[in-house]
Chains A and B, each alone.
Chain A
Amino acid sequence: MNAQAQMASQAVLQIRDLKIDLYTETVCVRAIDGVSLEVAPGEMVAIVGESGSGKTVLTLAPLGLMPEGVSIDIIGSVKCRGNELVGKARSAGTALTRGDVGVVFQDPISALNPMKRIGPQLCSQAMRKRGVNRAEGRQIAIDLLKRTGIPDPVDRYQRYPHEMSGGMLQRAMIALALAGKPRLLIADEPTTALDATVRAQILELIKDIQRTEGIAVVLITHDIGVVSSVADRVVVLYAGRIAEIGSVENVLTAPVHPYTKGLLASVPEIRSDVRGTVSGIPGSPPDQSHLHRGCPFSPRCALAIPDHCDRIRPVLLPIPGRSEGDQAACHVTNPAMKDA
């Protein structure tokens, strides 16, 4: 069995040709437009995108975590540890109820029940997912609070969410996500609402959990700095499609796709000697209520070839000369496209 097939059979999360349409009263938005992705056990994959890229929908929609009032149509396949989550071939029970996946949300205040104390919330989650009784659940909850670096866990067990600071709450949120002994942790902008000095603590915690428990992590973020400090691989999402994917080093230091390049050029590097060199990307993200012809980035791309980039959809192909797994979807900058 070759390396890829082996990885596929072990992948914690396997997304194949995923397309997601969101329907509301007035409009139909194609949030995800053909994404295939695999997350190996124990690796941290960061999904980077700006607003409208679909990064949150990508992982949360297959889990059934979308807001009310929006009808969703999911085409394709999303498998978590071999169990299909989507469509007619769906396995009984969801990944969430089985405890395979834990989710850390952006805003802990809205994700935790403000009327219940922290400890019992953790305890009931552990009981539900691991099938233990209350006493064992309580012990697991206290262990988790300790594991996530909350000082004095026995005392915090009895506290309400509003009595804790933002950083503490996020740790509690992570503890809650770990309650079911998941193999996959999905963290949706876990540090965006936190202060800079607390951010580093939480990222270190997540990295530590990844390393010691061997849990795979999908980190959804718009902050490239977050990506460079903890991720193993990066997926750059634009208009619901993967623009570039690869090891974090390659993508951040030698980006191929013009969008990735533009994104990196927009973020100032505080430690460089040069100042005043940020350039944004002109224009704005495309309207996702229509299907795009060709490359969705072409209207904003300085390298776009007229009558080619806006007509033919660029396929995600491996970048020649790089490690396997580094891919970009661009007619112009990926040499592999010319041969295709």
Chain B
Amino acid sequence: MSQPAIQVTDLKVYFPTGKRDRPVRALDGVSLSVEEGSFHAVVGESGCGKTTLARALIGLQPATAGSISIRGRNISEWMRDRKRFASEVQFVFQNPLGALSRRQTVRQSLEEPLLIHRMGSASERGARIAKLMELVGLPSVMLDRLPRSLSGDQRQRVAIARALALEPSILICDEPLSALDVSIQAQIVNLFSELQRDLGLTIVMISHDLAVVREMCTQATVMYLGKVAEIGRIDLMFRAPGHPYTEALLSAVPSLNPREEKKRHRIVLKGDPPSPMAPPSGCRFHTRCIIAEPRCSTIEPPLEAKQTGTVAACLVTS
């Protein structure tokens, strides 16, 4: 069994607040592994910690406890040689307008990583930039435009091209589709699938949109309030979820056929997600769970393999 590209072990990220013993527990013991060449989704709602996880993976967020190892090396070791890390692991931000400097043209934005790493001569850089534009499907006339004269998807394509400039083998993406219109999202979804296939990338995609995740990704990790609820192959998980939260998330996705939608049995959760500062005792989901049993409020469920083929943290499902 080859080494996973990314291995996260019991990762904890706490943000201090005014109160001493009540920090915000953004990540409270998360463990997962991402295989080489896989397209792994991390899904969940706001407050589950998925963005914190993404930022921790790229080194923008230091861990409070636990470890992250990428290709066998600990992240703290990687951080000592930032440039080498940058050439292996890259990041795509959620909002392309904020992720590109508004004063730089497309060409300048794409050239910057090459300049930082002192790659090649001016003509070699130019050739690389042309190739990147082609890779993301942008015409070369856009090279001299500023981000504000580009459309949303064009900006995101530039951001993706920039992330690929250093030829990384691992790409971490934080909700790259949420800021885009639906008809454009589809184009970027296809772009990601193509890139993953053609370049053999290992991609970790943070998203809240399960339908889109199903189109692109092979594996998924479902998070709830700083902990992992379920991990596994998407085709297995979405057909027969092993955790009641996964089931609720899937149920919340509407069908596009109104007749089916009205007939469909929907699981509507009660109440709002609890605050990460005061997570419920025992299983964090028990306050909103429809199959919760009395023991769920006292015992924290470990991740265990379920019959459905995925791994879930639930005492009730089998």
Contacts and interface: CB of A to CB of B under 8 A. Distances in A.
Q: Do A and B come from one complex?
A: yes
A272 to B, nearest CB: 9
Interface residues on B, range: 35 or more
Nearest to A48: B182
Contact of A284 (B153, B215, B254): B153
A199 B266 CA distance: 12
B299 interface: no
A228 B214 contact: no
Interface in A265-311: 265-271, 275-276, 278-282, 284-285
Interface in A245-265: 248-249, 252-253, 262-265
Contact of B183 (A167, A200, A223, A262): A262
Provide the main secondary structure of the chain B interface: helix
A275 B250 CA distance: 16
A152 interface: no
Contact of B272 (A198, A229, A252): A198
B189 interface: yes
A228 B257 contact: yes
B292 interface: no
B139 to A, nearest CB: 12
Given A50-B183, A167-B272, A279-B190, A270 B253 contact: yes
A165 B274 CA distance: 9
Contacts, number: 124
Contacts of A281: 183-184, 186
Contacts of B212: 268
B273 A278 contact: no
Contacts of B193: 276
B114 to A, nearest CB: 28
Contacts of A269: 211, 255-256
Contacts of B101: none
A68 B234 CA distance: 47
Nearest 4 CB-CB pairings of A with B: A280-B186, A225-B254, A280-B187, A266-B186
Given A197-B273, A222-B181, 10 more contacts: A50-B183, A196-B208, A196-B210, A226-B254, A266-B186, A268-B215, A270-B214, A280-B185, A280-B186, A281-B186
Interface of B: 45-46, 151-154, 181-187, 189-190, 193, 208, 210-212, 214-215, 238, 248-262, 266, 268-269, 272-273
Interface of A: 50-51, 165-168, 195-201, 204, 222-226, 228-229, 231, 248-249, 252-253, 262-271, 275-276, 278-282, 284-285
